Amino acid sequence: MTFVVITFFGLMLLGVPIGFVLGMAGVVGLTQIGGTSFLAMAPKRFFEGLDMFTFMAMPFFILAGEIMNRVGMTQRLANFADALVGYLRGGLAHSNMIASVLFAGMTGAAVSDAAAFGNTLVPAMVKQGYKRPFACAVTAAGSIIGPTIPPSNLMVIYGSLAGVSIAGLFAAGILPGLLICLFCMALIAAMGRRLGLPKSQSGPSLSLILRNFKGAIIALVMPAIILGGILGGIVTPTEAASIAVFYALFIGVVVERNLRMHDMVQMLMRTARITGVVFLIIASASILSWWMTFMQIPQQIADLFLSISHEPWVIKSLILALLICVGMFMDINAALIILTPVLGTLTMAIGMHPVHAGLMIVLTLNISLMTPPVGACLFVLSSVTGESIERISKALLPFIAVQVLILILLTYWDGLAMFFPRLLLGM
């Protein structure tokens, strides 16, 4: 076990990509169990780790978001959001949050949200007089709504690995996403005068709202198709994702007529790169996960936690602390895959509903997308806008505090976390 730990952290310190780190550490673990004769398990586990039908939903969701972004739906959603709340003090910051909610229903990925709005809304905010670090912080805070509100790629991974209803996880993600938006908007309003955020001279305009709604309605239909189909039991998440791609193609080719073959090639390549990275992590982590299961490490960690206390609130606190620490230093997909067996055992032992446990785990890892040193959204916004990670991180602190408060509410208040799963699915 010592050699596996040394290999894992040693390769991470050397800057080796996390997918290769997981695979190499897993191979070292296999050789420790049974020498070279066990190495045949590595390719077997590598491919079996991806042999889940629900994983097919991920590239479809990513591609659908790419298409809708390319045909101009991102800007239309931003315009509609600005028409709704742009007249408030800090209106463009409020619009950023609303747009993140609307955009989340198309992508399911925080990085896509951060990249899209980092290129569009951050420059617009700076032009209006917002400080660049604050504009980046607002965009980063809103970006984690993407993998929280359905469709969420992280929930697809967790549901597939833990055998938990993906529809239930999607339903559970609705309320946290909306709460993140509302609480962050309240924070922006509270900070408005102190930071001197710009305020529009004109008030709300019904005609402007209706005009921009007309332009954005074709984009707003996509989340309704995805969520309605899945929660209604009409289609599986994978089928809903493929329908979303077909709908996006229809918008781009038939309605907007601004999608070209060259665009499709670029989007397919980008989708393949993103999916390839995630799938490499999943496949490699399955080798390490098998070794951990064989060595009964998940059970040992669970016993260690339970030896401290059997009180559910204490175990939940320990889980949150573990996830926050791990998320600060490791890719969240890798962290989710490695820790799912451990946390599944723990949450089951304290009687947590599997959907509630999945929501807690996913939301905690989503927040770590904004925390240094390896927060993915920080790196994306820094590279897109040219702002330093340090200044973005400092501006993000109030937003992180608000989102941690939401996490605590949902972790310890079962009724709140399970409101929509019980309302929509009778869980």
For the segment 274-283, what is each residue's pLDDT rounded down to a tens digit?
788 778 877 8
Residue 38 — very low, low, confident or very high, per pLDDT cuts 50/70/90?
A: low
Range with top average pLDDT, 60-74, 104-118, 303-317, 349-363: 349-363
CB atoms under 10 Å from CB of 402, counted, come to 18
Lowest model confidence (mean pLDDT) among 176-190, 286-300, 356-370: 286-300
Range with top average pLDDT, 13-22, 28-37, 221-230, 249-258: 249-258
Range with top average pLDDT, 20-24, 124-128, 186-190: 186-190
Per-residue model confidence as pLDDT tens digits over 102-138: 877 666 677 777 777 777 788 888 888 888 899 889 9
* pLDDT number for residue 35: 64
For range 63-84, the mean pLDDT? 80
190 against 232, higher pLDDT: 190
* pLDDT number for residue 186: 92
Q: For residues 141 and 399, is the Cβ–Cβ distance under 8 A?
A: yes
CA pair distance 395, 377, nearest whole angstrom:
14
Cβ neighbours of residue 166 under 8 Å, at least 6 residues apart?
54, 155, 156, 159, 160, 230, 237
CA pair distance 333, 150, nearest whole angstrom:
17
Q: How crowded is the C-beta side of 88, counted as CA atoms within 13 Å?
A: 20
For range 40-53, the mean pLDDT? 76
* pLDDT number for residue 37: 64
What's the pTM?
A: 0.82
pLDDT over 70 percentage in the chain: 96
Judged against a pLDDT cut of 70, whether residue 63 lies above it is answered with: yes
Q: Please, what is the average pLDDT of the chain?
A: 83
Residue 201 — very low, low, confident or very high, per pLDDT cuts 50/70/90?
A: low
For range 309-328, the mean pLDDT? 86
For range 168-194, the mean pLDDT? 90
For range 151-155, the mean pLDDT? 82
Q: Give the CA angle between residues 397, 399, 403 to the nearest 5°.
A: 115
pLDDT over 90 percentage in the chain: 13
Residue 296 — very low, low, confident or very high, per pLDDT cuts 50/70/90?
A: confident
* pLDDT number for residue 107: 66
* pLDDT number for residue 388: 84
Judged against a pLDDT cut of 80, whether residue 368 lies above it is answered with: yes
Give Cα separations from 335 to 210, 349, 366 (angstroms): 44, 21, 11
Judged against a pLDDT cut of 90, whether residue 180 lies above it is answered with: yes
Judged against a pLDDT cut of 90, whether residue 371 lies above it is answered with: no
> How far does CA 253 lie from the centroid of its chain?
29
